[in-house]
Amino acid sequence: MALIFVPTPLGNLGDVTLRSIQALRDADVIVAEDTRVARRLLNALEIGPKELWSYREQNAASVTGGILERAREQRVAVVTDAGMPGISDPGIDLVAAARAAAVAVEVLPGPSALLGAAVLSGFPLRRFRFEGFPSRTSSARREEFDSALRTSLTTVWYESPQRIVAALTDLATVAPDAQVFLVREYTKRFEQQLLGAPAQVAAALEAPVRGEIAFVIAPYPSVPAPAHTDIDLDAAIDARLDAGEHAGDIARALAREGAGDRRDLYAKVSERKAGRGMGRKSAAEDPPS
């Protein structure tokens, strides 16, 4: 038999595919991120009672073996709360475990907020990157956004309603003129689409923010290095340290001025900071990624 990944509607029940319905009907076991959500979906699709197993990050280690054993002999369908299982959830680890155990895996095509948001943005998609959820700390988010912008590719992100304003604020700090497309409650009754600079998009969100969110950042023009190479690096670092700037912020700023690679600069700043007896960096100050 097989482990069958079944995408489910993001919000509009009409988006479910005929193959997904059939796979859920034929399944001997349904593995769900939240069994309550899965039960509501089965009821809406008029599918009779099924054996439901919970599979989430907190219990993955303890239930993976049992899921794979069932999948050797029976049809085991895997669903997430909405969309494609395995995208930004532990389902991808279940695929890897099944491959390692020689258990057959099938993935059905279907709804995806990632691809929907990317196409809705209108940004170039010949090449793009999916970044998933940004980090939870402001300093780490700024580093991630800075790194993503330097790829000169369209990047797609997910974020929770509780952190989206903070994330957009951090993006505005790094690149206030970046172009952002945000879709909230994609495919649902109160879907909202916003396009503009990070601060504009953040201001257009009603407080408190509710619902699922995906946002897309357009390719950002690379910053050309200045023609001169006579930067007094030690003096520039000392001046910024004296001003109280963090090592990560100093490295990022100097890299933009053409002083060198951000990682090398971070090491140089940290070395100079230690040599001046300024102590170790704070826990909130993350090295460049």
pLDDT, tens only, 14-72: 999 999 999 999 999 999 999 999 999 999 999 999 999 999 989 999 999 999 999 99
Of the residues 201, 217, 233, which one is the last residue of a structural domain? Answer: 217
277 and 227 share a domain? yes
Task: Indicate if 94 and 185 belong to the same structural domain.
Answer: no
Residue 271: what residue type?
A: E
pTM of the model: 0.73
Q: 35-39, 135-139, 277-281, 282-286: which range is least confident on average? A: 282-286
Tokens standing for residue 231 = 């930067």
Tell me the β-bridge partners of 193: 183
Tell me, yes or no, whether 138 and 228 share the same domain.
no
CA distance 144 to 140: 6
Residue 257: give the domain boundaries.
Answer: 223-289
Angle between helices 233-242 and 247-256 (to 10 degrees): 140
127 and 208 in a single domain? The answer is yes
Domain boundary residue, one of 217, 233, 262: 217
Res 169: pLDDT:
97
Residues 197, 135, single domain; the answer is yes
At 47 the pLDDT is: 96
Q: pLDDT (tens digit, 9 = 90+) per residue, 179-234?
A: 999 999 999 999 999 999 999 999 999 899 999 999 999 998 764 444 445 678 88
Report the SS3 class of residue 154. Answer: strand
Same domain, 190 and 205: yes
Residues 122 and 213 placed together within one structural domain of the fold: yes
206 and 288: one domain?
A: no
48 and 30 share one domain: yes
Burial class of residue 236 in the structure, from the number of CB atoms within 10 Å of its CB (0-12 exposed, 13-18 middle, 19+ buried): middle
CATH of residue 202: 3.30.950.10
Determine the pLDDT at residue 259.
81
The confidence band for 263, taking pLDDT boundaries of 50, 70 and 90, is confident
Give me the helices (H) in the chain, please.
18-26, 35-44, 60-73, 91-100, 113-121, 138-149, 164-174, 198-204, 233-242, 247-256, 262-275
DSSP letter at 2 equals: E
Predicted pLDDT at 90: 84
The Cβ of residue 86 has, within 10 Å, a number of other Cβ atoms equal to 18
Kindly state whether residues 232 and 193 are assigned to the same domain.
no
Cα gap 37→39, rounded to integer Å: 5
Picking from 107, 135, 167, the residue at the C-terminal end of a domain is 107
**Could you give the number of structural domains in the chain?**
3
CATH code at 56? 3.40.1010.10
Q: What are 81's two structure tokens? A: 């709360």
- Together in a domain, 230 and 154: no
Q: Mean pLDDT score of the chain, rounded to an integer? A: 90
Q: Is 250 exposed, middle or buried (0-12, 13-18, 19+ CB in 10 A)?
A: buried
Number of H helices, E strands in the chain: 11, 10
Work out whether strand 154-159 and strand 213-217 pair parallel, antiparallel, or are unpaired. Answer: antiparallel
